[in-house]
Amino acid sequence: MHRWFELFIPTLREAPADAEVASHKFLVRAGYIRQLSAGVYSYLFLGQRSFNKIIGIVRQEMDKIGQEFYLPALHPRELWEESGRWAVMGDTMFRLKDRKGADYCLGMTHEEVMTSIARKELRSYKQLPQIWYQIQNKFRDEARPKSGLLRVRQFTMKDSYSFDIDPAGLDVSYRKHYDAYCRIFDRCGLKYMVVEAHSGAMGGSQSHEFMVRTPAGEDQIVSCESCSYAANMEKAASKLAPVEDLAVTGDGNPVEVHTPGQKTIEEVARFLGVSPKNKIKTLALIANETDAKTGKPKARAVVVLLRGDHQLNEAKLSTALAGKETRAMQEDEIRQVFHSPAGFLGPVGLSNVAVATNGVFGEGAILLVDTALEGRKNLISGANKEDYHLKNVTPGRDFQPTAYADLRSVTAGEACPNCGGQLRIDTAVEIGHIFKLGYKYSQSMGARVLDRNGKEVTPIMGSYGIGMERILTAAVEQNNDENGFWLPPQIAPFEIVVTPTNVRDEMLTNTAEDIARRLEAAGFEVLLDDRDERPGVKFKDADLVGIPFRVTVGKKVTEGTVEVVRRSTREMLDVSIAAITEYFEKLLRPAR
């Protein structure tokens, strides 16, 4: 039996000063975790117990669809050079040398190791599909660890990888993961949502993120109030209300208007008495790309046009640019490249605009135009001339975009692309991510199998992750009040804490012992608070440490009853001592 008196459960009355978010404060105060270094934590008794239960659930569900491996955390440099990621990962990768001076890194993820196994061992389509998973530490030297266990440098991830003979097979593996993840998070008692995620530059791949709404999160998710549509900001779309175009001025061709000193969208719109919706927002950027012939890095001008009241979404821009990174141009660069003063830049008359052929951009400046401007007329843009703007600007007629693309961020209140309902935006934490990888690793690392026809083909892969700590953290974020938190019984370190109000009273002690023993015999996880403390201390601790039910053994034992308190609601109920086991059977068994 677990007796509090003998255990190490170092609860704190006060949270460490540097804890900001609820889960961080409470997990430290409740004695679950202690910090060792920035973004590196030790899990103490209660934390580890809860963690083990989470791992148990994940393992059970993953075993239904895949096979558990355990891969090294220490990887040789060569492996990561094969996939090209030794260079890409930069400072986020922990790197070290062995005694001979050879380079190693600590694994941030395990695509490379898994693929290295697959390519050695998988020979035939008959061996596919495979789903391999592991529960392992990951190391990422985050630029800024924060929020307790939410963003750390060493953490535990369940990561799995699927190998299929073709995209249809990948669809099946992907679906299996989707369903397994739902079962896992349901069993962990989390309120979560599944959102479409932006799938990067590889094209055609699919990705979903499993998110838990909480202000402590660092992602923004968009969801519909009326239907099931949900996506992260990098992917979310919306239907825009139609905008009335301005009436033609003069002969309908672009015409200059004098706008002395009016540089911002708001200034110009107010000055001309029009809505920012009828204005074109022109952004000048520099993209870094690699010269196709020489392989050397080179800069490329990118001009982005948005509706005046819209905001650029950098993830979408990156997708539109096939993953290239961009930065804003400096004023002198704008002058130099476009011969225009900053603040009066516009698309009409821009020289050397790239043309796209089959989605490939030719030479010159890339002119990307947000789809919200497609089909619009008589807009107002900069005239590329100090103190002048243009009226009557019509895309497609007065300038030719290199491409139209979805480039703007959705805002709350816009219409759902599926049903037209209202969209809302919430901050959330990502607890799981499933991703159709495609051929990236199997291709670059040379995994090949023979298909039915004896032809060599590259298996298609998927990769799927769950942040194990984040399940615990999200649960705490979702279930707390000023006194502490409560976990769903399935992931709580104990399901029931039995609290005799006075251990010097033999009747109370004996009754509490008896109840604890019977509950344990019935298969419940019970913590007996046998400390010689005042009741107040024990109640405060019980409220703090995340155990969902408390049995208070006090005065009422003379009447043959004890109190059962549900931590989440503070609901209190007198239950007969004789029937206590049955009471919890009814309460907790269905959840198992």
Partner RNA sequence: CGGGGCGUAGCGCAGCCUGGUAGCGCACCUGCCUUGGGCGCAGGGGGUCGUAGGUUCAAAUCCUAUCGCCCCGACCA
> Can you give the binding site for RNA, defined by CB under 7 A?
11-18, 20, 35, 37-39, 92, 108-109, 138, 140, 142-147, 151, 157, 200, 218, 314, 433, 435, 463, 465, 483, 501-502, 504, 532-537, 539-544, 552-556, 563, 565, 572
Cβ at position 540, least distance to RNA in Å: 3
Shorter beta-carbon distance to RNA: residue 401 or 548: 548
Residues 6+ apart with CB under 8 A from 182: 194
Q: Whose Cβ is closer to RNA: residue 380's or residue 474's?
A: 474
Q: Which is nearer to RNA, 313 or 340 (CB)?
A: 313
- Cα 351–357–358 angle (5° rounding)? 150
Distance, in Å, from the CA atom of 422 to the CA atom of 413, rounded to the nearest integer, reads: 5
CA angle 258, 377, 370 (to 5 degrees): 100
- Taking the least distance from each CB to RNA, the nearer of 416 and 429 is 429
CB of 20 to RNA, least distance (A): 4
Provide, rounded to whole angstroms, the least separation between the CB of residue 430 and RNA: 9
Token duo for residue 3: 């007796």
CB of 506 to RNA, least distance (A): 12
Q: Which is nearer to RNA, 453 or 558 (CB)?
A: 558
Least Å distance between CB 391 and RNA? 34
The minimum distance between CB 339 and RNA, in angstroms, equals: 28
* 194 dihedral zone (left: phi>0; alpha: psi -120 to 50; beta): beta
Rounded-to-integer distance, Cα 464 and Cα 232, Å: 17
Q: State which residue, 18 or 98, has the beta carbon closest to RNA.
A: 18
Tokens 């190998």, residue? 163
Please give the structure tokens belonging to residue 255: 């015409």
Q: Which is nearer to RNA, 202 or 403 (CB)?
A: 202
User: Which has the closest alpha carbon to 532: 496, 564, 550, 505?
Assistant: 505
DSSP summary character for residue 558: G
- Minimal distance in Å, beta carbon 250 to RNA? 42
Q: What is the dihedral of CA 254, 258, 259, 265, to 10 degrees?
A: -10
Burial code (b: 16+ CB inside 10 Å, e: under 16) for 91-117 equals eebbeeeeeeeeebbbbbbbbbbbbbb
From CA 559, how far away is CA 507, in angstroms rounded?
12
Least spacing, CB of residue 51 vs RNA, in Å: 18
C-beta closer to RNA: residue 258 or 534 = 534
Cβ atoms 221, 195 nearer than 8 A: yes
User: Which lies closer to RNA via its Cβ, residue 13 or residue 99?
Assistant: 13
Contact status, residue 373 vs residue 419, Cβ threshold 8 Å: no
Q: What share of the chain is helix, strand, coil (3-state, %, to 5)?
A: 30, 30, 40
Dist. CA 402–CA 360, nearest whole Å: 10
3-class secondary-structure state, position 122: coil
CB of 149 vs RNA, minimal distance in Å: 11
